[in-house]
Amino acid sequence: MISLKHIESFRLDERAKTILREKVKQTEISVKKLSELTDGAISYGYMNKIVYGQIDVISGEKLMCLLDILNIDLEEIFDSSVAYVSSR
C-alpha cells in the first residue's frame, strides 16, 4: 500500500473521471448534496467540475474526502501506478 502522506495532488485521467462520474450517478445524490456532505471541504462549484470531468488535478485532501463519501477505494480509480503532482 502506498503512503498518501506526502502526495499533495492527484492527476485524474479519463478513466478516473469516468469512474467518479459513474459512482456519483449510481448513488443518485445530487451534486449539491454531495458537496454538502463534504462539510465545506469541496464547494458546490468545484464538485460540479469534478463530477462533469472538468478537473484534471485534485488535491489529495479533496479526493480522499470524495472517495470516502462515495465509498470508493483509491485503487478503484487508478491503475497500478499513481501519478501525482508535487509543488516542489
| pLDDT digit string, tens, across residues 27-83 | 999 999 999 999 999 999 999 999 999 999 999 999 999 999 999 988 888 764 455
> For residues 15 and 79, is the Cβ–Cβ distance under 8 A?
yes
| pLDDT digit string, tens, across residues 3-39 | 566 678 899 999 999 999 999 999 999 999 999 999 9
- What domains are there in the chain, each with its CATH number? 9-85 (1.10.260.40)
Please tell me the predicted confidence (pLDDT) of residue 2. 54
Which residues lie closer than 8 Å to 23 by C-beta, 6 or more apart?
Answer: 70, 72
Please tell me the predicted confidence (pLDDT) of residue 4. 60
> For residues 23 and 72, is the Cβ–Cβ distance under 8 A?
yes
pLDDT of 85 strictly over 60: no
- SS3 of 10, please? strand
